[in-house]
Structure 1
Amino acid sequence: MSKSLYSSVAKLNLAGSNRKVRRIFAEDLEWSLATVPRLSKLCLETIVRNFEEHPIVEKLPPGQRDYVLERLSPLLPLHVTASLISDERYWKRCCKQRWDPCDTSQYGHSWKRMFLERHLENIIELFVPDVTDPKTVLDLVPLCKNYVKRLNISQLLLPIKEPQQAEEEECLDSASDSGSDRPSMDHFDFGILLDKLTSLEELHLMYRVKDCGMNFEWKMFEITLRDCESLAWALMSCKTLKVLRLQQSKVEDEKCRMLVRHLLDHPSLRELDFSHNLIGDRGARAVSKLLNRSKLETLNIYDNDIRGPGAQAIASALSKNSTLLSLNLRLNRLGDEGGQAIGKALRWNHTLLHLHLGANEMTEPTAAVLAKALAQNNTLKTINLSCNRLGEDGGKLLEDGMSHNISITECDIRLTEVGQEADCSISQVVQNNRDREHERRAPENGAG
C-alpha cells in the first residue's frame, strides 16, 4: 500500500472513531430478532389455516407433516380428511373431542376406525325416514367402507308423526291400511347400505327408540315386516358378514323365518344372536334348517318362546351338525320334551363345546337323559342347567353320569334342588377335569 493511500485510510478510521454511534431501539422492549418466525413456519401455519381449501400434507417432510397434523382442527369435514390423513394421533384427537371415554380395543386399536364406525353409527341412529336425506349416509360410504368392520346400532327412529285430532288419526289409520300416505320406510333401510360396506363383519341391531319419554308407543320397539324384508335382502347381499345380532326387536316366527330364509347358505356367517325376542316353535324350526345349511359356530336364541317341538327341531339339526361350538337356549320353555331331545342329540354331536339350558322348566326326566349323554360325550366343556327343578333324584342321576365324564370343566346347577351331596360330588368331578386340562395344556404353553 502506498504511503498516501495508507494516510487516507488512517484519516477515515480516525474520523469514524470520533463520530457518535447511532442506535435504534424497538418500540416493543421485549422484541428480539430471535422471536421472528422462520419463513418455513409461516408457510406451515398458512397450510393449517387453509387446509380445507388446499389440503397439503403427504408431500411435506416428516417433521413438517407432524407440525401440520398436530394443529389441524378435528372439526374438518370428513371428505377432506378421511382419504388424506392416516395419522392415528389426529384421529385420536377427533375421537376424544366427540366421545369420552374412548376404548380402541374394540376397534382393532385403531383411532381412525373408531371414529369412522361411530360417526356412521350416529348418522344411522339419528336418521328420520322421509326427513333425513339418504345421501347423508351414502356420501360416507366411499370415505369409510375400508374401515367399517362393525356397526352397533342401538336405536332406529320412526317417521315423524304430526299432531292430529283423534278423528283425523282414525282417518289416517284407515288410509294407511289402504297404502296411501304411508312413509317410504318404517325405519332406516339397510338395503341401501350393507352391500356397499365391503369390509363389514359384524352387525348389531336393536329396533327401539332410546329416551322416548312421554312419547312412548309400543311400536317404537319392534321391527316391522317391511323392515324385516329389506333387512333380509340386505343381509344376503353382505357376503363378508360374520356376526349378526338382532336383539330386543320383537322378532316373532314370521319375521324369523323371513330372515333365516335369506341367510341359508350364507358364505361367511359364523354367529347368530336372536335373543330377547318372541321366537316360537315355527321360528325355531327355521333356525334348525340354518344349522343344516350354514357354518354357524355360535347360536344365541335365549329369552324367547321356544317350547318342546321347536327344541326337538334344533336337537335334530344338532345331532348332525359339525360346526356349532356354542348353543344358548336359556330362558325359553323347552320343558322335558325339549330338554330330553337336546340331551339325546349330545350323544351324536362331537363338536359342541358350550351349552346353556338354564331356566327352561326342565325336571328329572331331562336330568336322566342328560346324565347318559354326559357319560358318553367327552367334547362338551361347559353346561348350564341352573334354575330348573331337577330335584334330588335328578341330581343323583347327574352325579352318576358326571362320574364318567372327563371333559366338563364348568357345570352350573344352581337353584336346581339337586341336593348338597350331588352338588359336591359333581363339583369334585368338574375340578378334577379342570386339573387334568391344566396338566394337558402345561407342556403346550411351555413349548409356546
Structure 2
Amino acid sequence: MKGLQILSQEQLAKSFEAIAFAPEDRLTAAAANALFNELPVSCAAAVSSFVSSETYYQRACSQLSVLGCRREEHGLSFKRMFFEIAVQDLLQKSTTLSQAVAENIFTLKLSACPHDFPLDEVCAQLPNLNRLDVKYDLESSSHVSSLERLPRALNVSSNLVSLTLQDSFLTDNDVATMFDNGSCPNCTIMNLNLAHNNITSTGLGVVVSHFLAPPTSVLCSLDMMGNKIDSQGGSLLGRALATNESLLSLNLRLNHLGDDGGSALLDCLANNVTLRYLNLSANELASLSANALVNMLESNDSLSLEAVIITSNPFSDEDEEAIKSCDRCFLDVRGGSSPGRQEMFLGKSIMPF
C-alpha cells in the first residue's frame, strides 16, 4: 500500500498545472525533486513559469522525436532545448507565447513555414532571439505576405546574429524586398545562409552592398550554395572582398561562376587578409581560375586562407598539378579527399556563436 507522502506527491503532480507555484520555494529539495519526477511532461509549456528544474526538462526532451539534437546547441540548457524544439508545434496551436516560454527561445527554427505565417508578430515576442532559421513553403502559393512580414521580423529582432533562409525559392526581387529597403540591421548579423534558392548575381549584389561593402560589416559567414550566380557575381564578390575585413567563410558551391568569374574573384583575394574558408566546387572553373588561385596563394603574404575546396571543376591535369604544388593552405581539388576538414570550417570552430 502506498504511503501518504507518495499519494500526496502523486496528487500534487496531477493537479500542479491548476495550482502552479515554484516548488523550490514551498517544498523541501527532496519533495520538489519527487514532484518533478511525477510531473507530466505534457504540461511543460503551462508550468514553465514555475518549473526551472533541468532534470524535469531533460525528461521532457527525451519525449521529443527529434534525432541528432544536442544540448550543446541550446546553451547547455535542457529547458531552452525543450522549448526551442517544441516551439514549432506550439506555434501551430497559437502564435502567442507565454513570457516564460518566449524568454527561453534563442533559436527559432521553422520548416515548411506557410506564406501567411505572422513571423513578425512571433519575433516581436522573443527578446533573446539571436538565430532565425526559416524555410518557407512558397513553391505552390503566392508569398507576397510572407515577404512583407519578413523585413518587419528582422527589424524587431535587434539581437539577431544568424539568419538562414535556404530552400525557400527566393528570387532576386525577394532579396531586394528583404534587404534593400534598409529594414534589416546589418550591424549584428554574422552568419547569413541563403543556400539553394533562385538568386542570381543581381540578388547577390544586394547582399554584397548590404552586408559586405559597408566598413561596419560584421558578417563572418556567407553561404550562397546552389543558386544561379554567374561571372558577374564573382566580380562583385571579388571587389568587395578586396577590402572587406570581416568575412571568414564563403560557400559558393554549385553556382555558375565560370572561369571568368572564378578568376576575377580569386584575383581580388590577393589583397584579402581575413577569409579562412572558401568553397568554389562545381562552378565550371578552369585554367584561368587555377592560375589566379596559384598566383593569389603565392603573392598574398598576409593570407589567412586555411582551406579552399574546388572539387568538381573541369581542371586539366596541368592545372591540378599546379594547384597541388601550393602548400600555403589545405586544397581539395577534385575527389573530396578530406570531407571532415570541410565540415570543420563550416561548423562552430569558425563561428563565434
Compute the TM-score of the two structures, normalised by the length of structure 1.
0.68
Please say if residues 141 and 197 of structure 1, whose CA atoms lie closer than 8 Å, have aligned partners that are also in contact. no
Aligned to 2:153: 234
Please say if residues 192 and 222 of structure 2, whose CA atoms lie closer than 8 Å, have aligned partners that are also in contact. yes
Q: In structure 1, give the amino acid aligned to 2:307.
A: T
Task: Flag the structure with larger Rg.
Answer: 1
After superposition, the Cα gap between the structure-2 partners of 1:302 and 1:37, relative to the gap in structure 1 and judged at 3 Å, is: closer
Please say if residues 244 and 271 of structure 1, whose CA atoms lie closer than 8 Å, have aligned partners that are also in contact. yes
Q: Does 1:244 align with 2:201?
A: no
SS in 1 for 2:263: helix
**TM alignment of 1:150-161, pairs within 5 A:** 150-157=107-114
After superposition, the Cα gap between the structure-2 partners of 1:155 and 1:105, relative to the gap in structure 1 and judged at 3 Å, is: same
Structure 2: where are the runs of 5+ without partners?
A: 339-353
Aligned to 1:86: 52
| CA RMSD after TM alignment | 2.5
Structure 2 CA distance for aligned equivalents of residues 47 and 200 of structure 1: 34
- What is the CA deviation profile of residues 317-342 of structure 1, one whole-angstrom value per residue up to 9, with x for unaligned ones? 11110010000111110012211111
Compute the TM-score of the two structures, normalised by the length of structure 2.
0.85
2:72 equivalent among 93, 101, 105: 105
Please say if residues 239 and 266 of structure 1, whose CA atoms lie closer than 8 Å, have aligned partners that are also in contact. no
Please say if residues 222 and 250 of structure 2, whose CA atoms lie closer than 8 Å, have aligned partners that are also in contact. yes
Structure 1: where are the runs of 5+ without partners?
A: 1-34, 158-185, 210-217, 417-422, 428-448
Please say if residues 44 and 60 of structure 2, whose CA atoms lie closer than 8 Å, have aligned partners that are also in contact. no
**TM alignment of 1:367-382, pairs within 5 A:** 367-377=290-300, 378-382=303-307
1:335 equivalent among 252, 258, 264: 258
Structure 2 CA distance for aligned equivalents of residues 312 and 202 of structure 1: 30
After superposition, the Cα gap between the structure-2 partners of 1:397 and 1:60, relative to the gap in structure 1 and judged at 3 Å, is: same
SS in 2 for 1:219: coil
**TM alignment of 1:274-353, pairs within 5 A:** 274-289=194-209, 290-293=211-214, 294-353=217-276
Structure 2 CA distance for aligned equivalents of residues 54 and 398 of structure 1: 70
SS in 1 for 2:323: helix
Aligned to 2:13: 48
Q: Which moved more, 1:384-393 or 1:340-349?
A: 384-393
Please say if residues 243 and 269 of structure 1, whose CA atoms lie closer than 8 Å, have aligned partners that are also in contact. yes
Please say if residues 324 and 331 of structure 2, whose CA atoms lie closer than 8 Å, have aligned partners that are also in contact. no
Higher relative contact order (CA 8 A, sep 6+): 2
Aligned to 1:164: none
Structure 2 CA distance for aligned equivalents of residues 36 and 301 of structure 1: 62
Structure 2 CA distance for aligned equivalents of residues 337 and 229 of structure 1: 36
Q: Does 1:95 align with 2:14?
A: no
SS in 1 for 2:266: helix
Aligned to 2:104: 147
**TM alignment of 1:1-400, pairs within 5 A:** 37-38=3-4, 43-56=8-21, 57-58=23-24, 59-76=26-43, 78-79=45-46, 81-99=47-65, 103-124=70-91, 127=92, 136-138=94-96, 140-157=97-114, 186-208=115-137, 218-219=139-140, 224-261=143-180, 262=182, 265-289=185-209, 290-293=211-214, 294-377=217-300, 378-399=303-324
SS in 1 for 2:109: strand
After superposition, the Cα gap between the structure-2 partners of 1:43 and 1:250, relative to the gap in structure 1 and judged at 3 Å, is: closer
**CA shift at 1:51, angstroms?**
1.6
Structure 2 CA distance for aligned equivalents of residues 36 and 306 of structure 1: 70
**CA shift at 1:93, angstroms?**
2.3
After superposition, the Cα gap between the structure-2 partners of 1:237 and 1:49, relative to the gap in structure 1 and judged at 3 Å, is: closer
Structure 2 CA distance for aligned equivalents of residues 96 and 397 of structure 1: 52
Structure 2 CA distance for aligned equivalents of residues 346 and 386 of structure 1: 19
- Residue identity (%): 27
Please say if residues 154 and 185 of structure 2, whose CA atoms lie closer than 8 Å, have aligned partners that are also in contact. no
**CA shift at 1:311, angstroms?**
1.6
Runs (4+) of structure 1 exceeding 6 A deviation are none
Please say if residues 320 and 333 of structure 2, whose CA atoms lie closer than 8 Å, have aligned partners that are also in contact. no
SS in 2 for 1:203: strand
Q: In structure 1, give the amino acid aligned to 2:116.
A: H
Q: How many residues align?
A: 329
**CA shift at 1:187, angstroms?**
2.7
Structure 2 CA distance for aligned equivalents of residues 87 and 67 of structure 1: 11
Structure 1 CA distance for aligned equivalents of residues 2 and 294 of structure 2: 85
SS in 1 for 2:250: strand
